A and B are shown apart, each in its own frame.
Chain A
Amino acid sequence: MANSTIAAGDTPVVTRRRKVVSRRRRRVQDALVAYSFIAPNFLGFAVFTLGPILFAFVLAFMHWDGSNAMTFAGLDNFWRLFEDKAFIDAFWNTIIYTVVSVPATLACALGLAILLNQKILGRDFFRTAMFFPYVASLVAVAVVWNMIFNPEMGPVNMLLYTLGLDPKDMPGWAADRHWAMVTVILFGVWKSMGYFMVIYLAGLQGINSELYEAADLDGANAWQKFLYVTVPQLGPTTFFVTVMLTIQSFKVFDQIYMITQGGPGTSTLVLVYHIYNEAFVSWDLGYSSMIALVLFFLVLGITVIQFRRQKED
């Protein structure tokens, strides 16, 4: 205001007002231009993502079969979780899948990255080859996996047989309660380690080579350099990879649907599979949304830990 009284001294009031109006119009116009950039994406995003997310939170506290009237369920769906044996199995199977496949994938990805960070001939080819399973169509490779690990005729068991393993002790892979989870985890590690290898490669290239030179001067051997230079320097990358892998493992579905269908029994039933069954097989939409909320809070927990860690760094 003080500025405008000073300005009033040397500019006629009318032009000044016109200027203010045109500036405001200009600002509105700028905002409209900006909104026009956002609108195509935001409208789709709001309707098809934000809306359903909000609806999911409501649905979890409802009873609904999708055709009759929706009724309020209060906490019914929540208490049901504790009595639903399939849910409890699915929950623990998801945790087991995560606890085993995350470190396994991480170790393989790091190992591959270190190997393929060396100056070797055909390095790009090798990197591409390791990455390819990640982009390959899941249905196609899962069928192959089922055939290779076929308990009666598959080449893996045939090889074990040739090596002298008794047919009675042969793992039944996807058809065997005790081996089904192993089969699914092996598949997951094989399919996604190439992707995380690439992230690790980027991390390795970010390490200052002077650190290795200094370690050389101190007479460190390769193992010591790995332990005291590479591993600590890759800390942020490892953390990021762990978070990504954990979230990915919580969401696992496709490969289980293709390889074991959650079985035998409930031995490979996981959360997303249970959500799918409750929603699209039993049409118990409220309860399936409650399971989805469990998944949501698991993922949210991991994300919050990630943010805390990043702040500390």
Chain B
Amino acid sequence: MRIAGQKLTGKLAAIYVTVILITIIMLLPFAWMLSASLKLSSEVFVFPIEWIPSNPQWQNYVDIWTKIPLALFIYNTSKLTIIVTLMQLFTSSFAAYAFAKLDFPYKNALFLGYIATIAMPWQVYMVPQFLLMREFGLNNTHLALICLQAFTAFGVFLMRQFYMSIPTELCEAARIDGMNEYQIWAKIMLPLSKPALSTLTIFTFVTTWNDFLGPMIYLTKTELKTIQIGLRMFISQYSAEYGLIMAASVVALIPVLIVFLSLQRFFVEGVASSGLKG
């Protein structure tokens, strides 16, 4: 017997068994979540586990929208995530172009300022940052979270590393053709940097969508909450409604799953390359 063009040896069989077992363990919590989301709360903990509910409670997926403003939470999170991602892409790739391809006074000093903060955990300055935002009157606004996440050193660094690998001759040729720097950025650099832009998109999307501590500190009004802290509020309010909690959790996972699956090729490449250069 042959699998993927290889003879099925004992060793190969052992690899398959191990890989499949590990995959099952990795995905088991998700399977349990999905299965529990279709059960009555009283059935969730029945053992042995009934993986495919005999009496699926599709009603759970209807009820969650009325029990908590889940749609509003999703809207808030999507709004924040899209704005932050777009701003991050624009400002990072814009700044990175100057750092990679232009010469100007204090270039190295400014870049060092970025690099020095890459390793600085946000948790070190989250408190003074909160106090500053409060001073600006941004407490309990989405703008605070946008300001917090849209201008990262990581984005500039990632884009700059990628731009460095694009030959400078391309820019020079474009300058001779009469393009100005903004046109070179828009018409030459951006189209060439799709892999880096995708990586940054996924990183930003996932971090913003899943951010927990930021929204928890800044957003105390229910109508402003994101899906993460909204879900958390739901859990503390209806702690025994296991089926509903699981249904809401499944809903919260779906957008990330879609983005991840559609861009995962870039993601894996991005992690691998930015990871090693980091």
Contacts and interface: CB of A to CB of B under 8 A. Distances in A.
A272 B149 CA distance: 19
B242 A138 contact: no
Given A55-B125, A201-B272, A120 B19 contact: yes
A24 to B, nearest CB: 13
Nearest to A250: B121
Contacts of B44: 147
Chain A interface, >50% SS class: helix
B153 A155 contact: no
Interface string B144-176: 000110111101100000000000000000000
A48 B132 contact: yes
Interface stretch (B60-68, B100-108, B190-198): B100-108
A3 B171 CA distance: 31
A125 B95 CA distance: 36
Contact of A38 (B110, B152, B245): B110
Contacts of A139: 212, 228-229, 231-232, 235, 249, 252
A90 B95 CA distance: 39
B32 A155 contact: yes
B18 A30 contact: no
Chain B interface, >50% SS class: helix
A140 B229 CA distance: 10
A131 interface: yes
Interface residues of A, number: 91
Contacts of A52: 125-126, 128-129, 132
B26 A299 contact: no
Contacts of A50: 113, 117
B249 A56 contact: no
B132 A51 contact: yes
Contacts of B107: 34
15 contacts: A35-B104, A44-B150, A48-B129, A48-B147, A49-B117, A52-B129, A53-B125, A56-B127, A120-B19, A129-B27, A132-B30, A136-B253, A155-B32, A247-B119, A254-B213
Q: What are the nearest 3 A-B pairs in CB distance?
A: A44-B151, A202-B272, A140-B249
Given A35-B98, A56-B128, A119-B4, 16 more contacts: A30-B104, A37-B94, A37-B95, A38-B98, A56-B124, A131-B268, A136-B30, A139-B249, A141-B249, A144-B30, A155-B49, A159-B47, A190-B29, A244-B278, A292-B124, A300-B119
